[in-house]
Structure 1
Amino acid sequence: MRLTKHAHACVRIDSSDGGRSVLIDPGCWTEPQAFAGVRAVLYTHAHADHIDEDLLLAARAADPELAVYTHPELAAEIAALPGLTGPAPVAVRAGEEFTAGGFGVRAVGGRHAETIDGYPDCANLGYLIEGVYHPGDALHVPHGPDERVRTLLLPAGGPWQSLRQAIEMVRAIEPEHTFPIHDAHLSEAGNENFDGWIDRATDTRYARLAPGESAPLG
């Protein structure tokens, strides 16, 4: 498999033969070319930095068979978008297993991490895709016997997360490889500080990918 980092929290996973592909959380900063040839899109939650409706409408206009998966609340909102072509989004819930873009996927978690005073109180699904874990905006640690994480896509910056929580998440999950995501809010110095802490304080193979850069997944 090959992992490609796009802007902020958006990543793409492709099989080595190019026959399988899935795009996760193409939001308001995502480059339109991230959709090129992709077979399925997964959305973790409804915030604009994780879903851009105009990008989705354009992608569906180009490929009416592009499959979309998300939690029931957002699936209903997407289905109601004016001008949406193709099949309705597939609603999935935490604990469900399904196939998207040719990959086996397990939905986990269920709620967005809290910033303060219970806000934001919204649904958030993490996706475990054949050992690759995208948690969305959450700190959920998968614990099930079929939820072993080999590659963690680690949120690096957000109002709902501290550096300590990021380190604790890596330590709890113990992934073989870790790549940072959700980093549009950080400056270059902030990214360097985050990278240094994760590299020193955890036992994982850690690397940062620039937008558009890819890495093989064993």
Structure 2
Amino acid sequence: MNLTHFGHACVLAAFETSEGSTRLLLDPGTYASGFEDARDLDAILFTHEHPDHLDVDRLHGLVKANPGVRLIAAPGASARLGETGIAHEAVSPGATFSVKGVSVAVLGGEHAVIHPQLPRVSNNAYLIDGRLLHPGDALVIPPGPVEVLLVPAGGPWMKISEGIDYLREVAPGTAVPIHQAGLADAHQQLHHQLLRTLAPEATDIQVLELGVPTGFPGDIPKNTVSGRKP
């Protein structure tokens, strides 16, 4: 498995299977950059409808540059895509599907609470190949162990103590912080350090260099950032 973080919640996951290379792009949103140049995509997955996870303005060009790509979305994101006329598939928690030899299980249901007076939207978490979990904007617990958790590092719907508790409960082999674009640089570093310090003993924290593909699993030293000691 190969991961490329384009910033915030946008991650490209590539797998080698018996059917060849399979490339899945998750949550290309307004806070991410560089995903516009992604090519040979087999599917684009959206966890929910918020713009920082679904950038409609750049989506048309991305779809045009990737003929035949499947768009797969949570119900709320599906409604938003429907307004654009872009062909797509809507999936809900409990569904399973396959993209060119890679299995995807849909978990979750609702976006985490930002404030009780704000309506909650649908939120899919995607468990990919049984190994990689993208929770979207909710702290979704997978049904079993995962190799790599894309762990939210910040957002208006969470505080870092909740992210730490989530990391401890899931206890993945490796955790990659995402959803960090709303934090100032100093706070990003602080939250990453807290995740490293308070992670389960067997969990590695790896902060990916943006736009750079990284292979998983790998011999990643405990509590490293992009392969370097903190």
TM-score with structure 2 length normalisation? Answer: 0.86
Q: 1:151 aligns with which of 148, 151, 158?
A: 148
- Aligned partner letter, 1:21: R
- Superimposed CA distance per residue, residues 61-95 of structure 1 (whole angstroms, 9 cap, x where no aligned partner): 2334110111233223313314x3xxx31111101
**Partners in 2 of 1:166 and 1:120 — Cα distance?**
22
Query: Quick check: 2:36–2:62 contact (8 Å CA) kept in 1?
Result: no
1:47 corresponds to: 50
TM-score with structure 1 length normalisation? Answer: 0.90
Gaps of 5+ in 1: none
- Aligned partner letter, 1:81: T
Alignment length (residue pairs): 211
In the TM superposition, residue 34 of structure 1 has moved relative to its aligned partner by: 4.7
2:138 corresponds to: 138
Coordinate RMSD, CA, aligned: 1.7
In the TM superposition, residue 101 of structure 1 has moved relative to its aligned partner by: 5.0
Of 117-126 and 3-12, deviating more is 117-126
**Partners in 1 of 2:37 and 2:107 — Cα distance?**
24
Query: Quick check: 1:21–1:102 contact (8 Å CA) kept in 2?
Result: no
1:28 corresponds to: 30
Alignment of 1:174-213 (within 5 A): 174-203=171-200, 204-213=203-212
The percent of aligned pairs where both chains have the same amino acid is: 33
Gaps of 5+ in 2: 218-230
- Aligned partner letter, 1:54: D
1:19 corresponds to: 21
**Partners in 2 of 1:74 and 1:207 — Cα distance?**
29
**Partners in 2 of 1:176 and 1:34 — Cα distance?**
30
- Superimposed CA distance per residue, residues 101-155 of structure 1 (whole angstroms, 9 cap, x where no aligned partner): 542101101100001115241001010112100000101212x3xx432110011
1:122 corresponds to: 121
